[in-house]
Each structure stands twice: as C-alpha cells, then as structure tokens.
Structure 1
Amino acid sequence: MDKKAIPTLLFFVLITIFSCKKSSNVLDRDSAVTDMNFSEKMHDFGSVNQGDKVGTEFEFTNSGNVDLIITDAVGSCGCTVPEFPKNAIKPGENGSIKVLFNSTNRSGIQNKSVTITANTTKGTEILNIKANVIPRIGIAQ
C-alpha cells in the first residue's frame, strides 16, 4: 500500500467512527422523554359575565423516569394566558399549569386551548377551557 494512502484511509476510518458515535447520541437524547398525566385536560367555567377574568389550575404528575421539562405553553388566543413551572419536575412529582381566561369583548360559548411543549412522548399536550360568556346589557356586540 502506498504510504500516501494511509493518512487518507485513516481519515475516512475516523470519520466513520465519529459518525457512528453521533447517531448513538441521538438515540440517547430521544430516550430522555417522560409522560405527563393530568387529573383533567378540560375545564368548564360555566357561565361568566362579559369582562370577568377567571382562572383554573390543571394539575399533573410526571409519570416517567426522567425529569419533566416544560419549554413553552401557548394559549389559542390572547384572552387565554397560561403560566407553567420553569423548573424541572422530578419523576413522581406533581405540578400545575395555571390558565387565566379574560372574557372582555367575548360573548357566547367560548372554547379555547393551551398547547404545552415538553419532553413528553407526544412532545405536546393540549388543555382545553370552555365558558359561556353572558353579554352585558346595553352593550352592542
């Protein structure tokens, strides 16, 4: 074998080894998922007066074997504002997501959602709220 070919061959062998190492890291990262079990995923506020601000808490448990990390929670509109824990939730521990609904400028049946992004098996979890907003008398809709 030509002495000039040995460094080239060695280069390709090292690239192959490190490429295999990277793909195993991807598998490790993908296996670091957990599950969130909610006591409820839907809350009905019933009838509320237009302009009321009402809230609820969705309680959950980290039912997996790794820390639960919630990276985001987004309401389906500006009237639905979630608040979520910023710290990791250990396996077996509980947490809650607070959701505030502002009924200003709303009327009738309102169905809103909150999308949670976390290191769960599904990647996202959906929470739902519902309210029947009673319009104020004398205010045009």
Structure 2
Amino acid sequence: MTRLVSLMLIAILLLSCKESEQNRIARLVNEWNGKTIQFPDSICLTSYAGDTVMTKYTRERSSYTILNYVDTIGCVSCRLQLPRWKTMMEELDSLYPTRVTCLMVFNPKGKRKLIKHLKNNQFNYCVYIDERDTLNRMNKFLNEEDFGTFLLDKNDKIVAIGNPVLKPRVRDLYFNIISGETVASSVDKEVLTAISFDKNKVDLGNFSWNKERETEFVISNVGKLPLVINDVITSCGCTKVDYTKKPVLPGENVILKIKYKAEQPEHFNKTITVYCNAENAPFKLNISGNAK
C-alpha cells in the first residue's frame, strides 16, 4: 500500500513538472514518504473568526492528520488560500468527522496582517501561529509548494505529500486514502480531447492598484470529444476566474473571464492553472502588470 501511494504521488506531482525536474521530484517524494513528523511539546491553537479563542493542542490520535505548514512571505491570500481550505475542511468534517484532523500552521512575517486576513475570511478553524518557526526547524521543511502539506497516519508518518486545495488529483488521493478506498490511477483511463488557446499570457500594463482589471482567455476544443474543465486554480486570491461548467463540444469555444484586484501596489505575475480532460493537461496561463 505504501509503495503504491508513493508511485501515485510521484505521478501526480510530475504531471505539471518540466522534464528536467522529474528525477528531483521523484527523489524528494521517496525521501519524505514514510518520515515521521516531529511536533513541539506545546502548541497553542487559536481561532480568530469571532471572539478570539485559545486552546492548548493535544495531539489527537485520529486515523489521519492533514498538516499544512505555510510561511506568509509575499501575498498572504496567495500563500494561505483560506477559502479553498475552509471548503475542503467543511467537507472533511461532514464526511469523516472522527477520522481526520486538519492542523494549519502559519509562520507569519506580519502577524497583524495574518490575523486580519483570518478574520476577514471568517476562518473559523483553529490555527497555530508559529512565530518562532519551531515546527519548521524541527522537521526542516522544503521551501516548495508541493512539500509543505502532508497527510499523516495515526503515528505521524507521512503517507502522502502535496497541496490538496491547489491540485485536484492530490485532493482525490487524500480523500481516497482517508476513506479507505483502493488507490488507483484514473489518468490512463481518462478520455482525452485536444484544445488550443488564443494566447497563454496577458500583460495588463500600468494601472491604479485600487482599480479592478479584466481580461480573458479563449479555449478551443479542437479534438473529437467533449471538453470538461475540472477546475481552474489561481496562484492568488486577488485573481478570480469565471467560466461555464458545461462540457464544450468539439469545434466550440469556452471563455475564461479573469478579474484581477491588487491588495496593494505591486508588480505582479500571476499563474492560472487549468485542469481538464485534454492531452498534456494541466495548462498554465499567465497575467502580469504593474498595479501602481
């Protein structure tokens, strides 16, 4: 089972990696899979959604724990992805109320800004604000998106790696393991079509940072089967995407409508990842500009 999960995880992570990165990703997954995460003796959890509530964290021996470690360097909404985490945690609470625990650990570079962001998003789950970065120093996490989130078994051993709110296939893997279902790859069984984009990047130029900007990408189904867009994920909460959820028939188009609203003056370069049933998916699109 452990070996099968490792192979599945490597395949999932490699789907969006360049060829030159494959050996490195495979090596890192093999090195981290099966490691035991070390926890500090004392962890204080706090909820900031309403009245501030603090509680001492006692390591629960539930069947699984999702550990998500994030430093808050740069765009806070990009790094935390709180709305996506809240949605997934609510689903886990509904489906597996006693089987899985989610532990959100944040190392803030601006604690007040982090707390404000938690309150604004009405994130009603308890979090551990690790100001001394103790958990990271104990475990020496890698400073990479794919290696800051882990699914742990009841003995705190890593059984899967990857961010489930950013990668749908990682999410499916986590849920399959937690539910006890047989882990099996659907990649080879998926019916694929072919698509083309009118462009893959847009420069929004210079504009006032407090003004919302809009643009769009057109996807054409040039294959022989209906196109189904499974998910579109942005690298930042300041970027929103709207598109039809209906299958796109061969010869037809779908428009991704993009809205960008800066949180502060900045030069930006944001990524939009499209997950769909097309050859070579997922696809990465890009918007950039200077919000002054």
Do they superpose with TM above 0.5? yes
Give the residue type in structure 1 aligned to 2:263. T
CA distance in 2, matches of 1:35, 1:110: 30
**Does 1:34 pair with 2:193?**
yes
Equivalent position of 1:67 in the other structure: 226
**Does 1:132 pair with 2:270?**
no
Q: Which structure shows the bigger proportion of residues in helix conformation? A: 2
CA distance in 2, matches of 1:87, 1:106: 36
Equivalent position of 1:46 in the other structure: 205
CA deviations on 1:4-54 (whole Å, 9 max, x unpaired) are: xxxxxxxxxxxxxxxxxxxxxx86x33x20122011110111001111110
Q: Which structure shows the bigger proportion of residues in strand conformation? A: 1
Q: How many angstroms does 1:106 deviate by?
A: 3.4
CA deviations on 1:85-120 (whole Å, 9 max, x unpaired) are: 20000011011101111023232x210011111001
Contact 1:70/1:84 (<8 A) preserved: no
> What secondary structure does 2:207 align onto?
strand
CA distance in 1, matches of 2:265, 2:230: 29
**RMSD over equivalenced CA pairs, Å:** 1.7
Equivalent position of 2:255 in the other structure: 96
CA distance in 2, matches of 1:50, 1:123: 32
**Does 1:119 pair with 2:280?**
no
CA distance in 2, matches of 1:43, 1:88: 25
* Percent of aligned positions that are identical: 30
**Does 1:80 pair with 2:265?**
no
Equivalent position of 1:138 in the other structure: none
Equivalent position of 2:55 in the other structure: none
Provide structure 2 residue ranges, at least 5 long, that are not aligned to the other structure.
1-186
Contact 1:85/1:95 (<8 A) preserved: yes
Give the residue type in structure 1 aligned to 2:286. N
Q: How many angstroms does 1:63 deviate by?
A: 0.8
Provide structure 1 residue ranges, at least 5 long, that are not aligned to the other structure.
1-25, 135-141
Map 1:6-17 onto structure 2 (within 5 A). none
> What secondary structure does 2:240 align onto?
strand
Scaled by the length of structure 1, what TM-score is found? 0.71
